[in-house]
Structure 1
Amino acid sequence: MKDSNILHEVEDTLLNNFKAGRRSYTIFQVGKATLLRVSDVLALRRTEIFNDDETVVKNAYIRDKKTGRPNILYLKPVKQDLLTYFQWLNQQNLHSDWLFPSIQHPNRHITEKQFYKIIAKTGDLLGIDYLSTHTMRKTGAYRVYTQNHYNIGLVMSLLKHSSESMTLKYLGLDQVSREQMLDEVKFD
């Protein structure tokens, strides 16, 4: 999602239009900040994210489901969101091994299908037809790319891609995007 105004509308809708809005919002924020696939975000365990004293770990060490490769998650960008979410979990009396438990079945995490329905409903409410569970990962990747001086190597590494061309395609850098970026370059 390249438009910041739309991004804020999505975040606001996730937070305020659902029974477990704080959970949906936090899933989206964690996905956006870590560039994880939704399956990996939903499978996070509380002990991977929080220390015993209920503070957020600096780095979480996980293994990507799709690739099987180890991944180190830097959590400082979502530290406050996670702390607020932890308070919400306690207020809801939701105690689970999972970071994002199901409300009905706290011994399981929310499913991809459940989160997909929340994202689809968010898109319906906002009249946006391109939202998906993948939006958070793509949005995070695009923002890292544009806010780090178009450092394709960094984005490629975070996404665990094996080629720059794959990452550029993933970022959706079409002709209009390339032209906008080139308009910012001072050639003189």
Structure 2
Amino acid sequence: MKQDVRPIKNLSEIKRVLKYLKNYNEFGIRNFMMFSIGMNCVLRISDIVNLKYSDVYTNKGKVKKYLRIREIKTGKIKELLLIHAKNDLVEYKRWLDNFINSQPDKYMAPLKNNEKMIVGTGKNAKEVNKNDYWLFPSSQHPTQHVSEKTFYKAMKQVSKATGVEHLGTHTPRKTGAYLFYRGGFDDVLRDKDIHPSNDIALAMKTLNHSSEGITLNYLGLEQESINQRVAENSAFNINI
């Protein structure tokens, strides 16, 4: 059964989600950072878990200006600024370095082998090292990346604890794309009396979609778009 996953549209809700994610256990900061970078860079969960340390940090340990990857599903290049995630990435690096440096040598030994795994499918499939310096390592196997299933479980736990519904592995990406579309969170725009931009072309671009229709459907905005067009269409105002 397909999961009904939706973007988080209000700042008040996402604050509850992020606060719980970050603090609910010792790996909360990892799951929080997965959500943050997924939202800021509008990434699929498959791309999030496959990020490497070197994708976001320079050789000197500084946060890079841009995240630039080739999407696993589409093979398309994606490049987005890391400016809004920079402070979180600086804090996360301290945790990550401490986590890796505290591991016994036997747990890091797999880095020396040449075991491979396949990521992607079809023409976009590629072979990569299974053991590496991943940005989001597994808690049990630190040379391997965290699984998508682990993040899914974390999101379900967050939903249960916070009461925010329709959360899943696509929530970060959908939320990021929604912010590009609307120009901000709905409650913030409303409180500041700012008209939403509703820039579907920009959202489509950040998602690497091929049509606005696909983007509207992905964000659950098809009916909203129809309602808006009907409301703005004066042809229905017939006076007799």
Q: Same fold (TM over 0.5)?
A: yes
Q: Deviations over 1:34-80 (max 9, x none)?
A: 00101101100111110011111112221111111222132111111
Aligned twin of 2:118: none
Superposed structure 1 runs of 4+ greater than 6 Å apart: 180-183
Identify the match of residue 124 of structure 1 among 155, 160, 177.
160
Label 1:165 to 1:174 Cα distance change in 2 as closer, same or farther (>3 A): closer
Structure 2-normalised TM-score? 0.70
Which residue identity lines up with residue 123 of structure 1 in the other structure? Answer: S
Q: 8 Å contact 2:47–2:72 — kept in the other structure?
A: yes
Match runs of 1:38-57 below 5 Å: 38-57=45-64
CA distance in 2, matches of 1:87, 1:178: 47
Name the SS for the 1:108 alignment partner.
Answer: coil
- Establish whether residue 36 from structure 1 lines up as the match of residue 36 from structure 2: no
Aligned twin of 1:140: 176
**Which has the larger displacement, 125-134 or 101-110?**
125-134
CA distance in 2, matches of 1:90, 1:134: 27
Q: How many residues matched?
A: 183
**Which has the larger displacement, 168-177 or 22-31?**
168-177
Aligned twin of 1:78: 85
Aligned twin of 2:218: 170
Match runs of 1:140-159 below 5 Å: 140-147=176-183, 149-159=197-207
Greater C-alpha radius of gyration: 2
CA RMSD of aligned residues (A): 2.2
Could you list the runs of 5+ residues in structure 1 that have no partner in the other structure? 184-188
Name the SS for the 1:78 alignment partner.
Answer: helix
Q: CA deviation at 1:176?
A: 5.3
Percentage of pairs with the same residue? 39
CA distance in 1, matches of 2:162, 2:72: 31
Which residue identity lines up with residue 114 of structure 1 in the other structure? Answer: T
Which residue identity lines up with residue 118 of structure 1 in the other structure? Answer: A
Q: CA deviation at 1:135?
A: 0.6
Q: 8 Å contact 2:13–2:164 — kept in the other structure?
A: no
Structure 1-normalised TM-score? 0.88
Q: Deviations over 1:89-109 (max 9, x none)?
A: 123345861000112111100
CA distance in 2, matches of 1:92, 1:181: 52
